[in-house]
Amino acid sequence: MTDIDGVVLDWSGHFNRYLKQHHPELELMDPTQFDQKQQIGQLIEGFNKTAWIGFLQPLRDAADVLPQFKKQGWTVIACTSMGSDQYANSLRKMNIENHFPNVFDRVDIIPFMEPKHEWLSQYKGSGATWVEDKWSNALAGVDQGLNTYLMRHEYNAYADNNNVKKVDNWQQIAGQVL
Ligand SMILES: [Mg+2]
């Protein structure tokens, strides 16, 4: 199981390009923290409903490595808290399918910035693997007994937990679980 933004797709890179074009006076500090500035939080929620959300690029080596999981018979499921606008949700699924054809068995979309405890609880004790970039959602995976990985970024590298394995790319995950 995997998060999408900051793990499968390069959300920050795309959002920063959007800011440069439409709000050159602003700068993104930490894309997983809703409260860094209320103005940014509202901008993020709005951005997730723009046409831009259909055109994110894969993060790092995701497009090279994720298909290997599928080829080896894994079920690949995503959970993304992008918000619930139906057309934005369709764009997201199209964007994922464009870069990862037939890789994802399911893409679950939950409300904007909603914590993932409840979603993850359906896999409690399953031994499934969980990949996140948001620290609180990584810990939520640990709480459910999942094999949890944190995709390392500048904004999350400070955090530590014995049950969260930090990685820099998908190859490092594949090397441990495939
Ligand atoms: Mg994320």
**Is residue 6 one of the residues assigned to a domain?**
no
Residues in the chain: 178
Rounded to the nearest whole angstrom, what is the distance from the C-alpha of residue 78 to the centroid of ligand 1?
11
Residue-wise pLDDT for 144-166, tens only, equals 999 999 999 998 989 999 999 99
Say whether both 33 and 112 belong to one domain: no
In a domain, residue 4? The reply is no
pLDDT at position 28: 64
**pLDDT level of residue 24 (50, 70, 90 thresholds):** confident
Give domain status of residue 18, yes or no. yes
32 and 120: one domain? Answer: no
User: How far is ligand 1, taken at its centre, from the CA of residue 58, in Å?
Assistant: 13
Q: How confident is the model at residue 42 (pLDDT cuts 50, 70, 90)?
A: confident
Domain hosting residue 46, numbered range: 12-53
Q: What is the CATH number of the domain that holds 76?
A: 3.40.50.1000
- 37 and 72 in one domain? no
Q: Are residues 40 and 120 in the same domain?
A: no
First to last CA, the chain: 14
Quick check: is 67 in a domain? Answer: yes
Per-residue H/E/C for the chain:
CECCECCCECHHHHHHHHHHHHCCCCCCCCCCCCCCCHHHHHHHHHHCCCHHHHCCCECCCHHHHHHHHHHCCCCCEEEECCCCCHHHHHHHHHHHHHHCCCCCCEEEECCCCCCCHHHHHCCCCCCCEEEECCHHHHHHHHHCCCEEEEECCCCCCCCCCCCEEEECCHHHHHHHHC
Confidence of residue 29 (pLDDT cuts 50, 70, 90): low
Distance CA 144, CA 81 (A): 18
158 occurs within a structural domain: yes
Give pLDDT, residue 163.
97
Residues 66 and 33 in one domain: no
Please tell me the predicted confidence (pLDDT) of residue 91.
Answer: 98
Whether residue 40 is contained in a domain is answered as: yes
- State how many domains the chain has: 2
What are the tens digits of pLDDT across the range 45-77? Answer: 999 999 999 999 999 999 999 999 999 999 999
Query: For residue 113, how far is its CA from the centre of ligand 1 (angstroms)?
Result: 10
Own/partner long-range contacts of 37-43 (Cβ < 8 Å, ≥24 apart): 41/113, 43/19
Half-sphere exposure of 159 (CA within 13 A, CB side): 22
Ligand 1 centroid from CA 71, angstroms:
24
Cα 5 to averaged position of ligand 1 atoms, centre (Å): 4
Query: Could you tell me if residue 1 is inside a domain?
Result: no
136 vs 34, which has greater pLDDT?
136
Torsion of CA 73, 54, 45, 26, to 10 degrees: 120
Which pLDDT score, from 0 to 100, does residue 39 have? 74
Does residue 64 sit in the same domain as residue 116?
yes
Pairwise CA distance, residues 102 & 106, whole Å = 10
Assigned domain for 108 exists:
yes
Expressed in angstroms and rounded, the spacing between residue 151 Cα and the centre of ligand 1 is: 9
